[in-house]
Structure 1
Amino acid sequence: MPNYSAKRQEYDDALPGWQLVKRCVAGPREVRKYDEYLPMPDPLNQSPENIARYQQLKKRAMFLNVTGRTRTGLLGAVFRKTAEIKLPSAVEYLLENVSGDGSSLEQLCKEATGECLDTGRGGLLTDFPKVELPEGQTSLTVSQAAKARAYVHFYPAESIVNWREDVIDGVRRLTLVVLHEKINETTDDGFEFTAKDQYRALMLINGKYVQRVYSEDTPDGVKTNPTDKMGKAFDHIPFHFFGSQNNDASIDKAPLEDLAEVNILHYGNSATVEEAGFISSQPTLFLTSDLDPDTFKIHNPNGVQIGSRKGHLLGKQGSAVMLQAKETQLARELMKDKEDQMLMIGARIVQQGGGAETAEAVRIRYSSDNSVLGTIAGNVSEAVRLSLFDAQRFMMEAVDEAGTVFWLNQEFFDEAMDAQAILAQMQLWQQGIIAKKDLRTNLRQAGVLESDRADEDIDADREEEAPVVGSEPDSPPANQPPGVNDE
């Protein structure tokens, strides 16, 4: 029987780091489920009292979810502007239903970008669902063919358990990918379900793409041979990796892992501070007296009560002192150090502004983060674009590369353009140095024009408007040299 559930060693080595980041992103409730992130102070003492004290320690510890907030901010920077998208009509349905479950293409890209921030890795599989024909029917009807569509499915890093690359004709090519899936089977009453493991093996055998699905019920696998629109076998596996550094099959560094490590250490320091405060923050009364116990009870029949409404007789040499532990600085300073380290790593979303700061200074501070984020946005864009090509192979006779455009936003800052800058752009156009299309592109990037307004939309709106008084609508600008084409 094939060992279809085998995992690569690199996968096992990277899995704890991926889990750490995702648990931090999920927040305090998820982190507190795992004792490994806040070890028990006395692990050898397994008495009920010590275990109960440890549970109280975990409840008092504060987990400041810097990792999750940073992830949200970075995602917001990428998707602050809509992606540049252009698709052939045959696959335009992917814009609103890219995975067959109603998820939009933008939502798939958000999942992919978030996964790349968490783990530095992920993948997209383009697949065509197998259509079961009724008995006696040999080909699809028009109605059946209209519903049969190719879809793009997102797989997180934890689901990609095995892979292999081989050199074929001097080119390194992907020849094996094994994907771990969870299949929910409902019970007879329909109210409950059980999750079962399933492994989807994508293989390149003799230069042809083959897919096999393994499970406990089908240990030998169910084989399918996907073909394109023309009935020809694929000469590559329609699965595309994306990573934080590049899009090959190797595992890249998880961008948020360093931040999550410090976040967990900050969580441990917080537990120490809260525990010390809980134990020693309340004042304690200490009494000294030369009275014997019986005499003390006679003069203080109700014991010693703290407050100004009742006096106490302590004898000639008696005294009372109220003691309270002073604030310990070590653990608090360790917490502050961790907060500074998280800011240095990239969690500036929690940093308090200390005054006015120029836009250029902000760009300098964020330059390293933008470099990583820009690489991720570019890598995810490339993987999505290649997946769209594979979808076209299923749905069209030929891939329309020229008619397919997909690119996520990589401008993470507002490029403010004042009136003087706009006038300078106008002069460049009037002098024939740039075209009108370039001018409008610059205005879109600066936010002067809406990013989704195409030149055709602007021209159509202008035709409906009345001519500007004092100028001819079709005449060239006054400062434009003769013979210069404004397009």
Structure 2
Amino acid sequence: MTVSARRDDFISYEKKYTLIDDCTRGQDAIKNGANFQKYLPLPLGVASTESKKYKLYKELAFYPNIVGRTSEALTGLAFRKQPSFNPEAIEGIEYLADRCSLDGEGVTQFSKKILSHVINYGRAGILVDFPEYGNPTPSIAEKEANNLYSYMAFYPTHSIINWNHKQVGAVKKLNLVVLHEEYLDFTKFDSKYKERWRVLMLDDGVYRQLVYDQDSDEPTKTFTPTDYGENTFSSIPFVFCGSTNNNSDMDKPPMLDLCHANINLYRLYADHRWILHNMADPFRYITNISKREQEDLERQGIKSGATKTLMLSGNSTIGNLELQENSSLSNEIDRSVAMMMAMGAKMVKNDSVNESATAAKIKASTEDSVLLSVMGNVSSAIDEAIRYVCMFEGAEYIKGAFSLDKNVIEEITEAQTLSVVLQAVMSGNSPRLPLYNALKSINLISEDMTYEEFIADIIKERESFNEFS
């Protein structure tokens, strides 16, 4: 087995990841990528993707990137409020607020990248590392002069190709991670992408790093990282972040079902636009003509228009047959769009609109939405990465240094619920009790106010308004 070997469960997810890649990248990837025929099969009567008919069929097709927009909206919603991060509470890691990665991202930007990837693919990884330097315990002056700070490196799920655990007592301990990397190899006037594999492993309980280049069967670099006190690590400073939990299992990508629905909608749009294109020119028909007239017309071609004359026998008629749009196809498109909107909304909140407020609260205590689950997992993963940063920097770790504010979800959904209830009451289609409960649930009226007092206040306000009018 070579260093580039991939786990079977990773291989089983590769096609799913390719689908999500293409769906999130948009129309160009769907229509012109390697899998274009898989996404848009040959229509009936078309033999080849090189035929003019198929090329026109594909050109007319439209891919509405609902997957990409949903992913962006969910990420934006999760970061509607600034994450809670207090670097001053841990002396020595204040720099993370402005630069926690080699790309110069602050911890908020970095966590946003992690969350966006997990929302799409269900999994990501964070490696905490320290730059190569001769002195394992550099002074503050050396750190500042040479930018020597431990950092977090983001690894997409595609790059985490192998991993393993070893049971130590009652605990499963991560003892191997293999990361596939692509990097730019620069020469004087040129550059090209090359591959390498970074192996993180426990060797007799000591954490080591090995780097294999694409043309080498042996490691070209070997490291034994140490903490600020020059102690070796007994665990691998790599953190998994998933959509379900933060273990190493392959979680189902939250966007996968939406991707399948988006491809189905793309095909419906293709068929619909193909039909509309073929309906644009009416079918011309002629009845009651002789065989000779038919042959003459076929030989000469049928000319029509204000300046053209068509000579036919006495009982002949000519007309245009106009096709009607396929309403069943239009209805199916509408249903598909509505279904995808519902799927996206369910990722934000699982509560059914038909549940009572009490039932919804009971359910919310035991079941998170996909977005809430991912937000919690990202918070935990970043916090664990900060723990490793503290080990590298010689800082005292304080648990809970970073967290995303989950209240943004409740505030949005409660406001939406209040809007629906208020509209129903104003239209006369609902009693006032649901409005009373909705206002009370978001603390817009006092917890001590009874329903009778609420109604009495409404009547009093109405009487005052009438007197004023």
Regarding TM over 0.5, the answer is yes
In structure 2, the CA distance between the partners of 1:195 and 1:313, relative to structure 1 (3 Å rule), is same
Secondary structure of 1:254 counterpart: coil
1:377 corresponding residue in structure 2: 375
Residue identity in the other structure for 1:122: A
The answer for the alignment partner of 1:14 in structure 2 is: 13
Residues 385 and 406 of structure 1 are in contact (CA less than 8 Å); yes or no, is this contact kept in structure 2?
Answer: yes
Q: CA deviation at 1:321?
A: 1.6
Separation of aligned partners in 2, 1:335 and 1:422: 41
Cα deviation, residue 418, structure 1:
8.3
Q: How does 1:340-359 map to 2 (within 5 A)?
A: 340-346=338-344
The CA deviation string for residues 408-431 of structure 1, in whole angstroms up to 9 with x for no partner, is 12122246798994785999xxxx
Question: What is the match of residue 74 of structure 1?
Answer: 74
Instruction: Return closer, same or farther for 1:167/1:331 CA change in 2, 3 Å cut-off.
Output: same
Is residue 280 from structure 1 mapped to residue 279 from structure 2 by the alignment?
Answer: yes
Counterpart of 2:195 in 1: which secondary structure?
Answer: strand
Alpha-carbon distance in 1 for matches of 2:397, 2:139? 26
Instruction: Tell whether the 8 Å contact from 2:160 to 2:178 is kept in structure 1 after alignment.
Output: yes
Q: Does the 8 Å CA contact 1:164/1:177 hold for their aligned counterparts?
A: yes
| 1:314 corresponds to | 312
Question: 2:172 corresponds to which letter in structure 1?
Answer: R
Pick aligned residue for 1:389 from 382, 387, 405: 387
Paired residue type of 2:111? C
Q: Which amino acid aligns with 1:401?
A: I
Tell me, yes or no, if the aligned pair for 2:272 and 2:330 is still in contact at 8 Å.
Answer: yes
Amino acid at match of 1:400: Y
Q: Aligned ranges for residues 51-66 of structure 1 at < 5 Å? A: 52-66=52-66
Q: How far does residue 296 in structure 1 lie from its aligned partner after superposition?
A: 10
The 1:290–1:173 alpha-carbon spacing in structure 2 relative to 1, beyond 3 Å, is closer
**Partner secondary structure for residue 259 of structure 1:** helix
> Alignment partner of 2:154: what SS?
strand
Note the C-alpha offset of 1:118: 0.8
How far off its partner does 1:165 sit?
1.3
Cα 1:425/1:369, change in 2 over 3 Å: closer
Task: Check the 8 A contact 1:285/1:322 in 2, yes or no.
Answer: yes
Residue 188 of structure 1 deviates from its aligned partner by 2.3
Secondary structure, aligned partner of 1:97: coil
Contact 2:128 2:152 in 1 (8 A): yes
Matched ranges for 1:280-299 at <5 A: 280-288=279-287, 290=289
| Structure 2: gaps (5+ residues) | 348-353, 416-437, 450-469
Secondary structure of the equivalent of 2:324? coil
**Kept after mapping to 1: 8 A contact 2:150/2:389:** yes
Deviation at 1:337? 3.1
2:396 is matched with 399
Give the drift of 1:43: 9.9
Percent of counterpart pairs with the same letter? 27
> Do residues 129 (structure 1) and 131 (structure 2) align?
yes
- Measure how far apart 1:16 and its partner are: 1.3
1:156 corresponds to: 156
| Alignment check: 8 A CA contact 1:126 1:238 kept | yes
Q: Which residue of 2 aligns with 1:106?
A: 108
Q: Can you list the C-alpha shifts for 1:11-39, whole angstroms capped at 9, x where unaligned? A: 11112112212321111111112221112
Matched with 2:237 is 238
Deviation at 1:336, TM superposition (A): 2.8
Q: What CA distance in whole angstroms lies between the structure 1 residues aligned with 2:86 and 2:401? A: 5
8 Å contact from structure 2 (residues 163, 177) kept in 1: yes
CA distance in 2, matches of 1:290, 1:250: 74
Asked if 2 retains the 8 angstrom alpha-carbon contact of 1:128 and 1:150, the reply is yes
- Which one of the candidate residues 186, 194, 200 is aligned to 1:196? 194
1:220 is displaced (CA, Å) by 1.1
Q: Which has the larger helix fraction?
A: 2
Structure 2 match to 1:177: 177
Contact 2:26 2:68 in 1 (8 A): yes
Query: 1:151 & 1:207 partners in 2: Cα distance?
Result: 23
Question: By how many angstroms is 1:376 displaced?
Answer: 0.4
Counterpart secondary structure, 1:89: coil
The separation in 1 between residues aligned to 2:390 and 2:129, in whole angstroms, is 11
Q: Deviations over 1:65-90 (max 9, x none)?
A: 11111111111110000001112231
**C-alpha separation between the residues in 2 aligned to 1:375 and 1:271?**
36
Question: What amino acid does structure 1 have at the position aligned with 2:98?
Answer: E
Deviations 1:142-178 (A, max 9, x none): 6433321100011110010001112112211111111
For residue 128 of structure 2, give the secondary structure of its aligned residue in structure 1.
strand
Aligned to 1:325: 323
Quickly say closer, same or farther: Cα 1:181–1:9, change in 2 above 3 A.
same
Letter paired with 1:255:
P
CA–CA distance in structure 2, aligned partners of residues 62 and 369 of structure 1: 37
Contact 2:346 2:369 in 1 (8 A): no
| Corresponding letter in the other structure for 1:154 | F
Q: What is the CA–CA distance in structure 2 between the aligned matches of 1:185 and 1:77, rounded to whole Å? A: 38
- State the alpha-carbon separation in 1 of the partners of residues 285 and 124 from structure 2: 63
> What is the root-mean-square deviation of aligned Cα atoms in Å?
3.5
For residues 240-286 of structure 1, the C-alpha deviation after alignment (integer angstroms, 9 at most, x for no partner) is 10111111000111111011101101111111111122223321222
Q: State how far apart, in whole Å, the 2-side matches of 1:214 and 1:405 are.
A: 35
Alpha-carbon deviation of 1:399? Answer: 2.8
Q: CA deviation at 1:314?
A: 1.8
Matches within 5 A, 1:190-269: 192-221=190-219, 222-269=221-268
Change (3 A) 1:305 1:93: same
Q: Distance in 2 between matches of 1:217 and 1:273?
A: 51
What amino acid is the match of 1:124?
A: I
Kindly tell me: are residues 410 and 235 of structure 1, through their superposed partners in 2, closer, same or farther at Cα, counting changes over 3 Å? same
* Superposed displacement of residue 304, structure 1: 2.6
SS at match of 1:90: coil
Alignment correspondent of 2:40:
38
**TM-aligned CA distance change 1:289 to 1:6, over 3 Å:** same
> Secondary structure at the residue paired with 1:181?
strand
Q: Is the deviation greater in 176-185 or in 340-349?
A: 340-349
> 1:205-246 CA deviation, whole Å, 9 max, x = no partner?
211111111113443112100000000011110001011111
Asked whether the 8 Å contact 1:70–1:348 carries over to 2, the reply is no
Residues 373 and 295 of structure 1, relative CA distance in 2, 3 Å threshold: closer
SS of structure 1 residue aligned to 2:326: coil
Q: CA-to-partner distance for each residue in 1:337-364, whole Å, 9 max, x for gaps?
A: 3223213322589xxxxxxx9xx89x99
* 1:367-422 CA-partner distances (Å, limit 9, x unpaired): 799611111000010000010110111011x53215x6210121222467989947
**Which secondary structure does the structure 2 equivalent of 1:94 belong to?**
helix
Contact 1:281 1:325 in 2 (8 A): no
